[in-house]
Amino acid sequence: MAVTLADIAARADLSESTVSRALSAPDKVNPATRERVLAIAKELGYVPNRVARSLSSGRTDLIGLVVPDIANPFFPPIIKAVQARAAIKGWTVLIADIDERAADELPLARTIRRRVDGLVIASPRTGADRLGELAQLAPVVFINREIPGSTSVIIDAGDGMGQAVEHLAALGHRTIAYLNGPRRSWSNEQRRHAVEQTAERLGLTLVQHGPFEPQVQSGVHAADLVLAGEATGVIAYDDLIALGVLARVAERGLRVGTDLSVIGVDDSPMSAMAYPTLTSVHVPGTEAGVTAVDTLLALIDEPDSGPGHVTLETQLVVRSSTGPVAAR
Amino acid sequence: MAVTLADIAARADLSESTVSRALSAPDKVNPATRERVLAIAKELGYVPNRVARSLSSGRTDLIGLVVPDIANPFFPPIIKAVQARAAIKGWTVLIADIDERAADELPLARTIRRRVDGLVIASPRTGADRLGELAQLAPVVFINREIPGSTSVIIDAGDGMGQAVEHLAALGHRTIAYLNGPRRSWSNEQRRHAVEQTAERLGLTLVQHGPFEPQVQSGVHAADLVLAGEATGVIAYDDLIALGVLARVAERGLRVGTDLSVIGVDDSPMSAMAYPTLTSVHVPGTEAGVTAVDTLLALIDEPDSGPGHVTLETQLVVRSSTGPVAAR
DNA sequence: CTGAAAGCGCTTACAG
DNA sequence: CTGAAAGCGCTTACAG
C-alpha cells in the first residue's frame, strides 16, 4: 500500500501532526525536525493522498474549465494556456467539453463545480442570468463574456473588427458582408456590432448572413450566399467559417483576394497555412487563458474581492485573402 | 453549508449508515425506508460529497486521459468519445495534454494516476518498457500502441495504408513518397511498414522523407522535398502534413490531383473541406475512444483479467486530391 | 516547537 | 433491515 503520514511518523518517532506540518507548513516546525521528516518521506517515497487532504482542507486543488468545443481551433490555445498556467501554480485542470450543446453547459458546470475549487468558463453559451447565479455558488471566471457582478476576461474584438472593415474600405470595397456566428453568441454580438459601427462610419453597405455554426461547412454554404449578392469583401465570425468560404470560392473557380476578399477571426494556425493565407483578426487566446487562471486563483483566495474585469485587445493580421476590389 | 448524510439522517430519524445504503446500495434497505430517504434527500437538495466518498471507498470515479496534443485534429474525436462514454457510465475524465513534449508524458501520467482510478493513454510517445512499468501501477489502456503485457486498443493502419498504395498504383503512379511522422511514433512505424510492404508487392518505387512533426508546416516543407524528386504520388503520415503539402503545391502553381496526388491519414473534418478535398485513410477515433473506456472500466473492475487487445480497422476514403498520373 | 484529539463526509464489515 | 463503530489519510485549532 501507499506510504502514509502514519508510516513516516512511526519511522521518525513523531506525531502525525508534526509530520503533516513539516510537509505542508514547514515554517511551523523545527528546522532539524523538518529535515529529518523530509529525508524519511523521500526515502519511503511518500506522496500525499490528495483525496484525504481535500476532505480535511476543503480544497481540491482542481479548477474546472468549460469549453464549447475542443475541436474548434479557437479553444486549444486557451486550454493549453490554462493547463500550463495552472500547473505552474500547482493546480490541475478538469476540462468539460459541451460539444456545442448549449443546454448541457449549465448542468455540466454545476456538476463539475462539486469537484473543483473554481471554474473558468470559456465563451459560455448560456443566458447571463443563469451564469450569474452559478457565479454565486462558486468562484467563476468567464472568458469572452461579460456577466453583471461576475469576473471576466474579455477579448475585445472591437479594435480588430474595426481594422478589418477599414482594411476592406481602404482596398476599395463598398459593399461588404458579415457572416454571423451562433445565434446566442455574445462574441458574435460584439463582433457584429463593431463591424456595423465601422461600416456605417465609413459609409459602406453592410450585408449580413447567418447565424452560422463555427464550422468549415457553414462557410461553404455562406460563400454561395455571398456570391449571389453584391458584396466584394466578407468578414466571417471566425476562421473556420472563413476557411469554408475560401474552399468554396476556389471550388467555384473564382480567386480569393481578387474576386472576393475574405477575413476571418481567431488567427488560428490554419489561417497562416490556408491557401491563400487568410487575413484574420488575431485573438489573444493564450493570454486570455493565463489571465483567467491568475484571476480565478485570486478569486479562490479572496472570494469577497469584487468582480474583476480584464480586457485584452485584438488586431488585424493581413495576409493574402484580401486584395483590391475588382469588377465582378 | 452543503447538505450531508447526517442532515438527512437527523430529518429521517435514521442512522447515517442506513441513509448511506438507501442512497448507494438501495437493495440493502427496506423499500419504504428508501423512499423516505430519497424524498428527504431530494427535498434538501442533497448532493453526495465525492471527495468523502472517494476517501472511504478508495475510488475517485475519475479516469485520466493522456493525449499528445489536443490541437491535433486526430485527438478531439477520441477525447469527445472518451468523455461521452465515461459520462454515460458515471465517470468523469481528467485530460492531460502533453503538448508533444514526449519527456513530459510519463511524469504527467504518473502524477495524474494518483488522482484517478485508471488511465487511457492515446498514442503514447514514451518507450514501451517504461509504459509497461506504468501499467503495473494502475489500470491503463493504450490507444494505438501495443505494449507487451498491457491492454490496448489498436487502430490497424495496415488495411487503409495498403489501400492507399493500391489506389495510387491503380492510377498509374510508379514512384511514390511516404512522409514519415514523428521519429519515435509507433503509429508511424506501423503506417510506414504497411506502405513499404504494399509498394514492394506492387513493384512501386518508394521514396521516404522525414521524420516530420504532425503539423501543417511540416507538409509545406515536405512538399518541396517531394517536388524535387521523382514521386508523383505522396502519402503523408497524417492529414495535417497532407494539408500542408496541398497548400504548398497550390502555392507553387501546380495542381493537386494532377501534378501531384496526395493522401492523408485520419480523415479529419478538414480533409473533406480542404480544396481540393483530401483523399485520406479513415481512422476510427470515436470508436477507439469508446472501446478504450469500456475496456478500462472492465480493467478497473477486474484488475487481474489478462491483457486485452482490440483491433479496429482503417479504410481509404477517396476524394479529389488523387488522380491519374500525369507527365511532370 | 510538538502532541492528542477532533473532524472532514462517507462507506462498510460486524452485530443484532 | 438497521445501528454503532471504526476507518479512509490528512489538517488544524487547542493545549502544553
Q: What is the CATH number of the domain that holds B73?
A: 3.40.50.2300
How many Å from the CA of A20 to C1' of C3?
12
- CA–CA distance, B138 with B282 (Å, rounded to integer): 31
Predicted confidence band of residue B236 (pLDDT cuts 50, 70, 90): very high
Q: Using alpha carbons only, what angle is made at residue A179 by residues A247 and B273, rounded to the nearest 5 degrees?
A: 20
**Which of A133, A120, A128, A129 is closest to A310 using CA atoms?**
A120
- CA–CA distance, B234 with B227 (Å, rounded to integer): 10
Quick check: is A37 in a domain? yes
In a shared domain, residues A198 and A99: no
Q: What is the pLDDT of residue A215?
A: 85
Please check whether strand D approaches the CB of A311 to within 7 Å: no
Q: What is the pLDDT of residue A161?
A: 97
In a shared domain, residues B28 and B175: no
- CA–CA distance, A223 with A288 (Å, rounded to integer): 31
Pick from A39-53, A152-166, B20-34 the range whose average pLDDT is largest: A152-166
Average pLDDT for chain B = 91
Q: Which of A19-28, A65-74, A257-266 has the lowest mean pLDDT?
A: A19-28
Q: Which of residues 183-202 of B touch strand D (CB under 7 A)?
A: none
C-alpha cell at A263: 477575413
The domain that contains B18 carries what CATH number?
A: 1.10.260.40
Mean pLDDT of B40-57: 89
Q: What DSSP character marks residue B177?
A: E
Beta carbons within 8 Å of A207's beta carbon, 6+ residues apart: A175, A176, A177, A178, A226, A229, A230, A231
In a shared domain, residues A274 and A291: no
Quick check: is A53 in a domain? no
Quick check: is A324 in a domain? no
Q: A211: cis peptide before it, omega within 30°?
A: yes
**Which of B309, B306, B304 is closest to B292 using CA atoms?**
B309
- CA–CA distance, B314 with B263 (Å, rounded to integer): 14
User: Cβ–Cβ of B115/A216 closer than 8 Å?
Assistant: no
**pLDDT for residue B209 is more than 80:** yes
Looking only at the bridges linking them, the beta strands covering B151-156 and B175-179 are: unpaired
What is chain B's alpha carbon radius of gyration, rounded to the nearest angstrom? 25
User: Cβ–Cβ of A269/B95 closer than 8 Å?
Assistant: no
Instruction: Report in angstroms the alpha-carbon separations of A63 from A41, A126, A131, B94.
Output: 28, 20, 17, 11
- CA–CA distance, B238 with B80 (Å, rounded to integer): 20
Using an 8 Å Cβ cutoff, are B22 and B34 in contact? yes
User: Cβ–Cβ of B92/A115 closer than 8 Å?
Assistant: yes
In a shared domain, residues B136 and B68: yes
Q: What is the pLDDT of residue A204?
A: 97
- What DSSP line would sit under B30-77, residue for residue? -HHHHHHHHHHHHHHT----HHHHHHHHS---EEEEEES-TTSTTHHH
**pLDDT-above-90 percentage for chain A:** 62
In a shared domain, residues A248 and A106: no
**What confidence tens digit (pLDDT) does each residue in A71-96 have?**
888 899 999 999 999 999 989 999 99
Last residue of a domain, one of A244, A265, A283: A283
**pLDDT for residue A270 is more than 90:** no
Average pLDDT for chain A = 91
How many other CB atoms sit within 10 Å of the CB of residue A243? 29
Which residues of B fall within a CB distance of 8 Å from A251?
275
How would you label B191-222 residue by residue, b for 16+ Cβ within 10 Å and e otherwise? bbebbeebbeebebebbebbbbbbbbbbbbbb
**pLDDT for residue A63 is more than 80:** yes
- CA–CA distance, B328 with B63 (Å, rounded to integer): 53
- CA–CA distance, B246 with B220 (Å, rounded to integer): 8
CA distance A250 to chain B (A): 7
In a shared domain, residues A298 and A245: no
**What confidence tens digit (pLDDT) does each residue in B261-298 have?**
999 999 987 788 777 889 999 999 999 999 999 999 99
Mean pLDDT of B16-38: 88
Nearest CA in chain A to B50: A115
Beta carbons within 8 Å of B87's beta carbon, 6+ residues apart: none
Mean pLDDT of B136-163: 93
**pLDDT for residue A209 is more than 80:** yes
Query: Total structural domains in chain A?
Result: 3
User: Cβ–Cβ of B216/A270 closer than 8 Å?
Assistant: yes
Predicted confidence band of residue A223 (pLDDT cuts 50, 70, 90): very high
**pLDDT for residue A1 is more than 70:** no
Asked if the C-beta of A95 comes within 8 angstroms of chain B's C-beta atoms, the answer is: yes
**pLDDT for residue B32 is more than 80:** yes
- CA–CA distance, B45 with B108 (Å, rounded to integer): 37
**What confidence tens digit (pLDDT) does each residue in A172-198 have?**
999 999 999 998 888 899 999 999 999
**pLDDT for residue B94 is more than 70:** yes
In a shared domain, residues B185 and B271: yes
Beta carbons within 8 Å of A323's beta carbon, 6+ residues apart: A171, A257, A258, A261
**Which of B195, B231, B228, B188 is closest to B210 using CA atoms?**
B188
Quick check: is A31 in a domain? yes
Mean pLDDT of B221-232: 96
Mean pLDDT of A257-261: 95
- CA–CA distance, A290 with B240 (Å, rounded to integer): 27
Quick check: is B54 in a domain? no
Beta carbons within 8 Å of A315's beta carbon, 6+ residues apart: A159, A160, A163, A281, A282
User: Does A262 or B301 have the greater pLDDT score?
Assistant: A262
Alpha helix locations (H) across chain B? Answer: 5-12, 16-24, 31-44, 50-57, 75-88, 102-113, 128-137, 158-170, 186-202, 216-227, 239-251, 269-273, 285-301
In a shared domain, residues A75 and A141: yes
Strand C, nucleotides < 7 Å from a protein CB: these are 1-5, 7-13
Q: Is the dihedral of CA A247, A253, A258, A261 positive or negative?
A: negative
Cell 480565478 maps to which residue?
A296
Looking only at the bridges linking them, the beta strands covering B279-282 and B315-317 are: antiparallel
Q: What is the pLDDT of residue A320?
A: 93
How many Å from the CA of A3 to C1' of C3?
21
In a shared domain, residues B163 and B238: yes
- CA–CA distance, B147 with B131 (Å, rounded to integer): 7
Quick check: is A55 in a domain? no
Q: What DSSP character marks residue A133?
A: H
Phi-psi region of A138 (alpha: psi -120 to 50; beta: other; left: phi over 0): beta
CA dihedral angle for residue B148, residue B153, residue B159, residue B164, rounded to 10 degrees: -110
Reduced to 3 states, what is the DSSP secondary structure of residue B243? Answer: helix
**Which of A154, A278, A300, A307 is closest to A216 using CA atoms?**
A278
Alpha helix locations (H) across A25-127? Answer: 31-44, 50-57, 75-88, 102-113
Quick check: is B53 in a domain? no
In a shared domain, residues A170 and A243: yes
Predicted confidence band of residue A302 (pLDDT cuts 50, 70, 90): confident
Predicted confidence band of residue A28 (pLDDT cuts 50, 70, 90): confident
Mean pLDDT of A44-64: 89
In a shared domain, residues A165 and A151: no
In a shared domain, residues B263 and B162: yes
Instruction: Report in angstroms the alpha-carbon separations of B58 from B50, B55, B138.
Output: 11, 5, 13
Predicted confidence band of residue B1 (pLDDT cuts 50, 70, 90): low
Domain boundaries, position A32: 5-48
Q: Which of B54-58, B86-90, B126-130, B269-273 has the lowest mean pLDDT?
A: B269-273
- CA–CA distance, A68 with A169 (Å, rounded to integer): 33
Amino acid at residue number A315: Q
Quick check: is B82 in a domain? yes
Reduced to 3 states, what is the DSSP secondary structure of residue A67? Answer: strand
- CA–CA distance, B75 with A70 (Å, rounded to integer): 10
Using an 8 Å Cβ cutoff, are A81 and A286 in contact? yes
Please check whether strand C approaches the CB of B1 to within 7 Å: yes
User: Cβ–Cβ of B114/A243 closer than 8 Å?
Assistant: no
Predicted confidence band of residue A327 (pLDDT cuts 50, 70, 90): low
Using an 8 Å Cβ cutoff, are A176 and A206 in contact? yes
